[in-house]
Structure 1
Amino acid sequence: MLTINVAVLLTVIVLLRLRRRTEPRTRFDETFGVVLVLVLGVLLAPTSFGQWVLDLVGQLAHGITRAGG
């Protein structure tokens, strides 16, 4: 249960940071944003939502591969 709460908190932080202008102000700001998104991905990966996203991306990649070949 704690993982979901932390994931929700990180999602809110990422969404708030995305609402700002697109250019990072400093190198630290850019690095901090990347770390936040990576941690959010690690927290969401083992959940059912994370598995759903993985399956969806896998199906899209498979469809693109079949369409290209």
Structure 2
Amino acid sequence: MLTINVAFLLAVIVLVRLRRRTEARSRSDERFTVVIVLALGVLIAPTPVGEGIFDLLGQLASGITGASR
């Protein structure tokens, strides 16, 4: 039995959509891409990978604010 991870499928869709030329996109097409990216974020957030990304971004933000002092 083959199972497909929904988050992985959405990530592939996002990558394919973002590879398209900017001039070829309409406003509704851009909005749809934003909705897909938000759904991907919601699916990834509670996973260990999502928590790792959150921690990494927090450390990066702390380093940037610490460097500006």
TM-score normalised to structure 1 length: 0.88
Contact 1:45/1:51 (<8 A) preserved: yes
Residue 28 of structure 2 corresponds to: 28
What are structure 2's unaligned runs of at least 5 residues?
Answer: none
**Structural RMSD (CA):** 1.4
Residue 52 of structure 2 corresponds to: 52
Q: Which amino acid aligns with 1:13?
A: I
Give the superposition deviation at 1:24. 5.5
Tell me the matched-pair count: 66
| Inter-CA distance 56–24: structure 2 relative to 1 (3 Å threshold) | farther
Identity %: 67
Distance in 2, Cα, partners of 1:31 & 1:13:
14
What are structure 1's unaligned runs of at least 5 residues?
Answer: none
| Inter-CA distance 37–62: structure 2 relative to 1 (3 Å threshold) | same
Give the superposition deviation at 1:8. 0.6
TM-score normalised to structure 2 length: 0.88
Give the superposition deviation at 1:19. 1.2
SS of alignment partner, residue 22 of structure 2: coil
Structure number with the higher helix fraction is 1
Residue 16 of structure 1 corresponds to: 16
Distance in 2, Cα, partners of 1:57 & 1:46:
15
Residue 64 of structure 1 corresponds to: 64
Residue 42 of structure 1 corresponds to: 42
